[in-house]
Amino acid sequence: MKVAMGAERFGYPLKEILAKHLVGQGHEIIDFGMYDLENKLSYIYVSDEVSKAVASGAAERGIVLCSSGMGVAIVANKHKGVHCALVESVDTARMSREINDANVLALGGSVVDAALATQMVDAFMTTEFASAGDAARAALLRSLINEVKAMEDGNFK
């Protein structure tokens, strides 16, 4: 799977660990920076670029990182078709996909350690939308996501 990634300086070390982990699993990384600690990028820039890649279909999923994860999540959710989830546990990472069909994951490089972040990314990457439960629940979740997409159509003109 193609995964767009980007981080500012507080998320950079974790981005590097997660990118290596994902490449080891066979994923292709589209890296929007930072590329080193010498050439700093704003969280706004990296989240915007990752979100554009996901919204356009150039990447199937995205991962954005800053110190808390909040700034990159806010920026990502300003893009039509991008549903970014800021998560704090493996369960919420899984639910972001299963229930909300999130396509971008936001993490805080100053909040979570590499071991937990890796587990959260694995849950995000392997969970399918509406995969748990019965057919009626899956239909309800699809209906709710369609309502969100209709809101986007009205709000992003």
57-73: burial string, b at 16+ Cβ within 10 Å, e else: eebebbbbbbbbbebbb
Sheet with 104-108: strands ordered across: 28-31, 2-7, 61-66, 104-108, 84-86
Catalytic residue among 63, 66, 72, 130: 66
- Picking from 11, 20, 123, 13, the residue whose alpha carbon sits closest to that of residue 69 is 11
Active site residue 66: yes
17: tokens are 């660990």
Q: What are the Cα distances from residue 111, in Å, to 51, 66, 118?
A: 22, 10, 13
The amino acid that residue 5 corresponds to is: M
Helix (H, G, I), strand (E, B) or coil at 126: helix
Instruction: Count CB neighbours of 154 within 10 A.
Output: 7
Which residues are catalytically annotated? 66
